[in-house]
Structure 1
Amino acid sequence: MKKCEIHQLYNLEETIAADIFKGVTYPWEVLPKIKDFIVELGNTLDVSVYEKRGENIWVAKSAKVAETAFLNGPLIIDEGAEVRHCAFIRGNAIVGKNCVVGNSTELKNVILFNSVQVPHYNYVGDSILGHKSHMGAGSITSNVKSDKTLVVVKDGKEEIKTGLKKFGAMLGDYVEVGCNSVLNPGTVIGAHTNVYPLSMVRGVVADHSIYKNRNEVVQKNE
């Protein structure tokens, strides 16, 4: 399933976490590694650029973090990022350069590449969001199946068993997710794809496409 491979989805030059992807094929393989990776990376960060704000919490001095935001480690907030009023970062999170984490947005076990925007009432859990991807207001990643079985990534008749109980969504670079959409467990959205508002997305969505509903996905005219 080549369209789900890391190099098809992400520009690894746009994240401080590039090394976590070494030696793996699919991005969801790194989800169980995020916690330990942050602790290891955080202890190597330049103290002239980052300050330590608590146990395993590193925040770039140029980042803007609202006093009302909740930060739990392990956590790295990179340069120029903005964490707004009442954001809830539960831990195991890497917030890339110039990202926006908005009011009442919740993050848990995630990697946000540089310039990602999750600005309004978003839940992002057990997910990886590529460079300049954006989740519209109220859109969320659902990270556990209702029957609690392990997540399987499906693309037509092709399937990959992930072995993961918790797996939200993999968003490629420049993905736009419309307001109030739900990305079901195991969703993979290719780079430069747009998802219509109020969508329920499941499985693999091709890059450079427009997702209108599960039966209508059209290629962009570029």
Structure 2
Amino acid sequence: MAVQASAFFALPPSLARFAKFFPAAATPWDWLKQVGAALEGLEANPAGPKIPPGVHIEGKVWLHASVKLPPYAVIQGPAYIGANTQIRPGAFIRGHVIAGENCVLGNSCEFKNCLLLDGVQAAHFNYVGDSLLGNGAHLGAGVICSNLRLDQGEVMVRLPNGTVGTGLKKFGAVIGDRAEVGCNAVLNPGSLIGPRAMIMPCTAFGGYVAANTVARIRHVITTLPRRD
């Protein structure tokens, strides 16, 4: 049986306008399929922040007035960026992005077809493609949410009770509320990270990690032969 989105996160009040697209009982990958539909009909916010000359905006982009914009960045619509979110220098928001309140979309990071709930921190050199990040989720520097299999086949998810097809060719990671992913970790397509789980730095992770647990690299140490 497929897992429900409610096992990973809850849609915050700040994103209530999109609630009909993201029911708690749906699978997380069904949420991902609805990001585009949720943004249909979106209009730019006429009361949004002043746009610095170096920030390039194209398409329909809704920015709360309190969004902090950097000297330079690229934001392609459709996109929705909530209150008190920071967009830092060199960020590339590449369409079909919803970000809640108090998020950090960091320097030299790329975001594409993703849903970021409140308080997400992706601050340094991250790639977040076709992914869902829960409330307070944190990506360390250099974390990559890989979204395409090497054979470009359907992305499958490995659950405790079996493997399930998602019907998606591109599907990155599902990262639960307050989960932590350490620096330079790579999350393989279809990774499911439970709430308050941790992925240790420099880990190449794929599969499922339950809530409140830690995924580590298994270190293998061998002894070299003596060189007399």
User: Same fold by TM-score, threshold 0.5 exceeded?
Assistant: yes
Compared CA separation, residues 189 and 15, structure 1 to 2 (3 A): farther
Match of 1:219 in 2: none
Match of 1:5 in 2: 4
Compared CA separation, residues 51 and 158, structure 1 to 2 (3 A): farther
Q: Superposition pairs for residues 175-186 of structure 1, below 5 Å?
A: 175-186=179-190
SS in 1 for 2:130: strand
Is 1:124 equivalent to 2:128 in the alignment?
yes
SS in 2 for 1:69: strand
Identity %: 38
- CA distances 1:15-66 after superposition (whole Å, capped 9, x unpaired): 51433212852111122321231133x34x9755789965311101100011
Normalised by the size of structure 2, how large is the TM-score? Answer: 0.85
Whose strand proportion is higher, 1 or 2?
Answer: 1
Aligned AA (2:165): K
Compared CA separation, residues 166 and 51, structure 1 to 2 (3 A): farther
- CA distances 1:157-209 after superposition (whole Å, capped 9, x unpaired): 60111110000000010010000000000001000111100011111110111
Aligned residues: 212
- Pair member with larger Rg: 2
Match of 2:175 in 1: 171
Unaligned 5+ segments in structure 1 are: 216-222
Match of 1:220 in 2: none
Aligned AA (1:32): K
Aligned AA (1:13): P
SS in 2 for 1:35: helix
Match of 2:107 in 1: 103
Q: How far did 1:11 drift?
A: 1.8
- Asked if structure 1 preserves the Cα contact closer than 8 Å seen for 2:48 and 2:62, the reply is no
Normalised by the size of structure 1, how large is the TM-score? Answer: 0.88
1:139 to 138, 143, 156: 143
